[in-house]
């Protein structure tokens, strides 16, 4: 059954008419039209679909879109600092935390949420913060280093 509702994504309200069983990932990509959020396992294991709901990371593949109505959704398209990359995005490039790039949006979302609640995490806290995100290229070391770098730069400023 189709249901009409409004999703607030990156501060913009999008009217949606979609089958109630559709997941948030599918509606963000197919109806809202933002394709930065990726579908990996589609099984709540890999974290490629990570978005923020009211600032907290959620696997959008396994969250019903209609249930997100009225909540603040943030995707990878919404993390830039105005016209500039966020310090985390810049650090991911500078530290070589990106290889094939498929996990990157999800990694950035989890790390953005982590730094939002814990601006100066230690390495263990970064690894726990990213523990719901799989990467098959980097071996994680450079991603962790990028988050640590972003944290120290944010902490300094």
Partner 1 sequence: MSLVIADSLADALSALAGGARPIAGGSDLVVGARQGTAALPEALVAIDRLDELKGIVTDESGVRIGAGVTHAELMTDPVIVDGLTALADAAALVGSPSTRNVGTIGGNVMNASPAMDTGAPLVVLGATVELATTGGSRRVPVSELWDGPGTTTAAADELCVALHVPPSGDRSGSAYVRLEYRRAMEIAVVGAAAAVTLDDSGALATARVALTAVAPSIVEVTGLDLTGRSAEDAVASVADAARGAASPISDLRASDGYRLHTVGVMASRAVDAAIRRAGGDSIAVPVNRAEGIGASR
CA distance 109 to 73: 11
* Residues at the interface with partner 1 (CB under 8 A): 1, 3, 20-21, 23, 42-45, 47, 50, 53, 56-59, 61-64, 66-67, 69-70, 110, 113-114, 127-129, 131-133
Nearest-approach distance from CB 121 to partner 1, in angstroms: 12
Distance (Å, whole) CA 49 – CA 61: 6
Residues β-bridged to residue 96: none
- Kindly state the smallest distance separating residue 18's Cβ from partner 1, in Å: 11
Of residues 38 and 93, the one with the C-beta less far from partner 1: 38
Rounded CA separation 39/54 (Å):
21
Retrieve residue 91's tokens. Answer: 């650090």
| CB closer to partner 1, 36 vs 132 | 132
Least separation in angstroms between residue 66's CB and partner 1 is 5
The least distance separating partner 1 from the CB of residue 87, rounded to whole angstroms, comes to 20
CB-wise, 44 or 90, nearer to partner 1? 44
Q: What is the DSSP string of 24-65?
A: HHHHIIIII----S--SSSSSSS-TTEEEETTEEEEGGGSBG
- Which CB atom, from 32 or from 58, has the smaller least distance to partner 1? 58
Q: Find the shortest distance in angstroms from Cβ 57 to partner 1.
A: 4
**β-pairing verdict for 12-19 and 56-59:** unpaired
Check the CA dihedral 30-80-150-124 and report its sign: negative
Residue 93 or 128 with smaller CB distance to partner 1: 128
């Amino acid at each position: 059954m189709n249901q009409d509702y409004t999703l607030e994504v990156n501060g913009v309200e999008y009217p949606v008419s979609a089958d109630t069983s559709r997941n948030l990932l599918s509606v963000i990509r197919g109806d809202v039209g933002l394709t930065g959020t990726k579908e990996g396992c589609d099984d709540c294991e890999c974290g490629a679909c990570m978005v923020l709901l009211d600032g907290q990371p959620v696997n959008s593949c396994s969250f019903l879109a209609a249930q997100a109505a009225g909540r603040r959704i943030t995707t990878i398209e919404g993390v830039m600092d105005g016209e500039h990359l966020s310090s985390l995005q810049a650090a991911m490039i500078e530290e070589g935390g990106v290889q094939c790039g498929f996990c990157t949006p999800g990694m950035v979302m989890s790390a953005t949420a982590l730094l939002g609640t814990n601006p100066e995490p230690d390495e263990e806290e970064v690894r726990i913060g990213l523990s719901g995100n799989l990467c098959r290229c980097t071996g994680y070391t450079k991603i962790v280093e990028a988050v640590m770098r972003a944290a120290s730069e944010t902490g300094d400023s």
